[in-house]
Structure 1
């Protein structure tokens, strides 16, 4: 039976006008109730923290615990695929020993991003552990480090010469105000963390933009999805506004590629919940493959703007992304499936089927198994002495 807090958290979005709803969502009590709601929706919350697959399981995976139990699709995937697992909590001071002595062959992780400090904890600990231990963390720590940070994503895209909308990051209020006094309008403000357009504001008034910048540097900024005191201070992220663009969401998990077009609402594609299906354009898939090959990313969502004159710009990189249950996200001629790059014909091939079970976590677990199998085969290959 759902608690009264869970009932409130589930219905607050639908019962109140947006300004009141957003104010209440940031309240500490509501934030706590939202966490309780998600934990109660974990179908495995009352089961053992370790599960041994019946029969023969080649590997045991460590599933790193997420604060609101959003790790549960990894549990479902391991059970579907008959892979043993163990839930691992790295939030304590003994986290390093917990990982070292877990006995797991690899780790699956979906970091918490509801609170800035939580995300920082995962970023710090996963990067430190990956530097001293050869076991695979999936998705990889580099991809998870980029996830939910507009600044890091911008720096990464810049460093690898990937086309993306012009962006400016300011750590000095005066420089930001001076820029705002002469930049082209409209211009977009984005919070460093935030999904579903929750931290996106389009400014077409110079005075409003400058007041917002002052607010960010003096009082800080927080989206309605985060607790009120979890504010971003001392920096501002601004991005050029591209008119009349289409946006494709593409996904790579292992060597499977997916894509659909995102509709827009009030000038924004993120959070519109409008989807259009069809075979993704080859140039969009090519760019997705190029970026993920450069980063060696085996679990990545890339949102790509397509301008009216055919140019492509990357809008988002996300190792984990919003996905509704087992909704199939690639459909061609009313068939669900995935896109595969055929290196022999050098063409994209559509393969019909269902591949998105448990929020795509089945495919993530299958990809991790293949990575471990490949590593095992390489280590077993006899080395020829020259």
Structure 2
């Protein structure tokens, strides 16, 4: 068996390589950004793992276009699905997905019409949350409480750019500097082959209603394995990007919802970042087919690393199931799916 790994230069590969070594499976990396990307069509792979780019927008657009051209070749033989990938690192597309599929989310509006954005800005309830379309870990997120400030941001987003710049702490300055230098890191890591550049986008603004959040949860499903933990606040009150985890059992009602949503929409490999308000309501904040793993474990209960399985009810099983950034599980899930595909 040989797997084609469809990937871009900015994606780290060490965990992927180690996972294939663990499972003793052959693989090739397929660089979808290369000029000769189509040469891989001549090779025969049993299946495909897909690792979409998170940056920049031009790479994401080209990646999706080329995947679409390959959709017949990938059908039934790839992980994750194209539906899962299309919304990756795009808050606007995620919220479109929530609306189309009736998933619980905080009310949001994406304006491409300047006059509509201004009219909404004049009458909407404050505060609101402004979000860039892409950007992880609370980067590109701003809470606005004053009407005139909101209208200024709307005008700037259409006439200049919609990048959110925050320099109100040492951490925000470091994050901004890191974001500016990230393309050059990719350039050096790729042995001076690829230099992606951020574009100053304009002509759109994404405005989300403000809801007081009690907790944010991360729940991961890969096949039959479920993991989860709380995402604790940082000093600025943001859960996302704090890297602070609250270990322990995940609420069974939340696990039930994630299983219900993922079963219905066939999201067999997905990370759910979910808000819980003070009334106990759940809202999906983000869906990510690729997600950071700042710790090896993604579920720890009573100091034991493990996972949840559903067997008429939720059962905790001890073990190290998230090795190599969950890539072992991804590969195993792909192979399991390929077996079912051949049997059809």
- What TM-score do the two structures reach when normalised by structure 1? 0.78
In structure 1, C-alpha distance between the alignment counterparts of 2:331 and 2:275, rounded to whole Å? 30
TM superposition shift of 1:241 = 1.2
TM superposition shift of 1:97 = 4.1
Whether 1:153 aligns to 2:132 is no
Residue equivalent to 1:279: 249
Residue equivalent to 2:212: 243
Residue equivalent to 1:195: 136
Contact 1:71 1:110 in 2 (8 A): no
DSSP-derived class of the 1:163 partner: coil
In structure 2, C-alpha distance between the alignment counterparts of 1:220 and 1:79, rounded to whole Å? 45
Whether 1:255 aligns to 2:220 is no
Q: From 13, 19, 22, give the equivalent of 1:71.
A: 13
Residues 202-243 of structure 1: CA deviation (Å, up to 9, x unaligned): 111111111111111111233643667522221111111111
In structure 1, C-alpha distance between the alignment counterparts of 2:136 and 2:111, rounded to whole Å? 21
TM superposition shift of 1:268 = 1.8
DSSP-derived class of the 2:323 partner: coil
In structure 2, C-alpha distance between the alignment counterparts of 1:331 and 1:229, rounded to whole Å? 38
DSSP-derived class of the 2:241 partner: coil
In structure 1, C-alpha distance between the alignment counterparts of 2:226 and 2:93, rounded to whole Å? 24
Q: From 154, 157, 170, give the equivalent of 1:216.
A: 157
In structure 2, C-alpha distance between the alignment counterparts of 1:73 and 1:185, rounded to whole Å? 44
1:1-386 matched pairs, under 5 angstroms? 59-98=1-40, 100-134=41-75, 136-222=77-163, 224=176, 225=179, 229-265=198-234, 266-324=236-294, 327-342=296-311, 346-376=312-342, 378-379=343-344
TM superposition shift of 1:358 = 0.9
Count of aligned pairs between the two proteins:
315
Question: Cα RMSD over matched residues?
Answer: 1.7
Residues 294-322 of structure 1: CA deviation (Å, up to 9, x unaligned): 22112101111112222111111111111
In structure 2, C-alpha distance between the alignment counterparts of 1:352 and 1:82, rounded to whole Å? 24
DSSP-derived class of the 1:164 partner: coil
Contact 2:76 2:338 in 1 (8 A): no
Residues 315-341 of structure 1: CA deviation (Å, up to 9, x unaligned): 1111111112x6101111111100111
TM superposition shift of 1:287 = 1.5
Q: Which moved more, 1:162-171 or 1:307-316?
A: 307-316
In structure 2, C-alpha distance between the alignment counterparts of 1:247 and 1:183, rounded to whole Å? 25
Contact 2:224 2:309 in 1 (8 A): yes
Residues 69-124 of structure 1: CA deviation (Å, up to 9, x unaligned): 423322221111100011112223443342x2121111112222221111111111
In structure 1, C-alpha distance between the alignment counterparts of 2:154 and 2:259, rounded to whole Å? 37
> Structure 2: 5+ residue runs without aligned partners?
165-175, 184-196
TM superposition shift of 1:361 = 0.6
Contact 1:130 1:137 in 2 (8 A): no
Residues 45-86 of structure 1: CA deviation (Å, up to 9, x unaligned): xxxxxxxxxxxxxx1011123212423322221111100011
Q: Which moved more, 1:214-223 or 1:182-191?
A: 214-223
In structure 2, C-alpha distance between the alignment counterparts of 1:229 and 1:163, rounded to whole Å? 31
Larger Rg: 1
In structure 2, C-alpha distance between the alignment counterparts of 1:235 and 1:108, rounded to whole Å? 33
TM superposition shift of 1:135 = 5.2
Contact 1:105 1:135 in 2 (8 A): no
Q: Which has the higher contact order (CA 8 A, sep 6+)?
A: 2
DSSP-derived class of the 2:272 partner: strand
